[in-house]
Amino acid sequence: MSGAGPEHLAFSGWIDPPADPLPALEGELACDVAIVGGGYTGMAAALRLRERGVEAVVLESAFCGWGASSRNAGHLTPTIAGDPQLLASAYRRRAPELVRLADAAVHFAAGLIERLGIDCEYVPGGNVSAALSAGQMRRAGRIARFLAGCGGEVELVEGREAGLPHAFRGGILERAGGTLNPGRLARGLRAALGDAGVRAFERTAVEAIAPSRSGVVVDAARGRVRAGRVLLATNAYTRDIPFGPPRAVAPLWVTLAETAPIEPGRLEAAGWTGRAGIYTQHVILESYRRTARGTVVFGSRLPRRPRGPLGARTPDPAAVADVVRGFHERFPSLRDVAARRAWGGWIAMTPSWLPVAGEAAANVYYAVGYNGHGLAQAPYLGTLLADRLAGEEAHDDLLAVWRPRPRFAPAPLFSAPALRAAWTIDRISDRFAGRG
């Protein structure tokens, strides 16, 4: 590896923060629905409520797109329940409805991008849950059959046939979805709010929500909203807000890095001729994808637990070094290619490994906890919840994750020792990579 280490960014490598932040909320206003959080969930919900003629306002503590929505790896994928293996084991009975939800979410997100005309470099080439060893490939075959039996748009592919890099033997091709620039998607949704005339307030952290005679009162530092209902779209940050469903989410910090531009032909020489995004079948996945700017964005491996409140932070240098090591192990012919920058963000894990939606208190609704797969599921569930708040009967895909009561079990699997153990298992499994 050549040159100085990667630049550590406090926001995202995909886009810059907006030059035109919207005004903060000052004074008092009234509306039907106050949406807390301006990521994919909150922005998609606001757009749908607007379409339905319901007056909504968005209250965002930084700017719309500040959270995971502008930072993620950009795999538009129908993966749900952690990974396909977990779906086949922990959710055998419910799998058909979850597979249907996840596929519908991808088609919804792709349709939203098209309908709003958002240029987010979307490449609809699918994604592959890729095997590194013969054992993983056999398991991939079993899971692919199971998912296809549940109605999933998947097939088992060989590495060469799918144009995967040499390190990968093949895997489960998820045909729905592909890769995109998530920052551009978030920015496009933010612009769509303005075009649709949705009232949004940035630099407006909601501090308290209290019941009132006509619904709820939502308080920020310098303003107040009197709303009929509230929609919490705060994903990982839900842990830190006193009015969210307690213990609904366990935030984990996920690290990404991006290479310098790679000379044309070198990825193809490494076997990567296909366009599908790739994630590995490790317990804690690694992800790899090409970008429109001729780079590779990759990451995950060992996530970090929060110490204190989830504020702005730059990536942990040890975590960056670890993902870069992973990249060079998977792409030995690119060992001279340096990582140019790194960033990260908070994902929201849930004890069930499934997204959750429900009513946290009277008139306070939520849709959160996408377990690192919310690029499609966040806008979809935000939209379905908006439909419900607009008076429609709940959609089956919303009911599939609906919690009648906001009670959540502790999640010991996301403790630091458990994560470290999973990472160690992954490094042991790496010894079998390429064998058999």
Ligand X SMILES: Cc1cc2nc3c(=O)[nH]c(=O)nc-3n(C[C@H](O)[C@H](O)[C@H](O)COP(=O)(O)OP(=O)(O)OC[C@H]3O[C@@H](n4cnc5c(N)ncnc54)[C@H](O)[C@@H]3O)c2cc1C
Residues in the site for ligand X, rule: CB under 6 A? Answer: 36-42, 59-62, 66-69, 71-75, 77, 205-206, 233-237, 241, 254, 256, 344-347, 370, 372-376, 378
Which residue's CB is nearer to ligand X, number 41 or number 85? Answer: 41
Smallest gap, in angstroms, from Cβ of residue 37 to ligand X?
3
Report yes or no: 117 and 134 within 8 Å, Cβ to Cβ.
no
Q: How far apart are CA 129 and CA 145, in angstroms?
A: 14
Smallest gap, in angstroms, from Cβ of residue 62 to ligand X?
5
Which residue's CB is nearer to ligand X, number 133 or number 178? Answer: 178
Smallest gap, in angstroms, from Cβ of residue 269 to ligand X?
26
The continuous run of DSSP H or E covering 90 comes out as helix 84-90
Report yes or no: 193 and 43 within 8 Å, Cβ to Cβ.
yes
Which residue's CB is nearer to ligand X, number 219 or number 333? Answer: 219
The continuous run of DSSP H or E covering 269 comes out as helix 266-269
CA quadruple 239, 222, 33, 110: dihedral sign: negative
Smallest gap, in angstroms, from Cβ of residue 139 to ligand X?
22
DSSP assignment of 276-323 equals -EEEE-SSS-EEEEE-TTS-EEEEESS-B--SSS----PPPHHHHHHH
Smallest gap, in angstroms, from Cβ of residue 181 to ligand X?
11
Smallest gap, in angstroms, from Cβ of residue 211 to ligand X?
18
Report yes or no: 146 and 83 within 8 Å, Cβ to Cβ.
no
Which residue's CB is nearer to ligand X, number 133 or number 186? Answer: 186
Strands (DSSP E) contained in 291-391 are 296-300, 339-349, 356-361, 364-368
Tell me the residue length of the chain. 436
Which residue's CB is nearer to ligand X, number 67 or number 152? Answer: 67
Which residue's CB is nearer to ligand X, number 24 or number 135? Answer: 24
Residue 251: HSE in the Cβ half-sphere, 13 Å Cα cutoff: 21
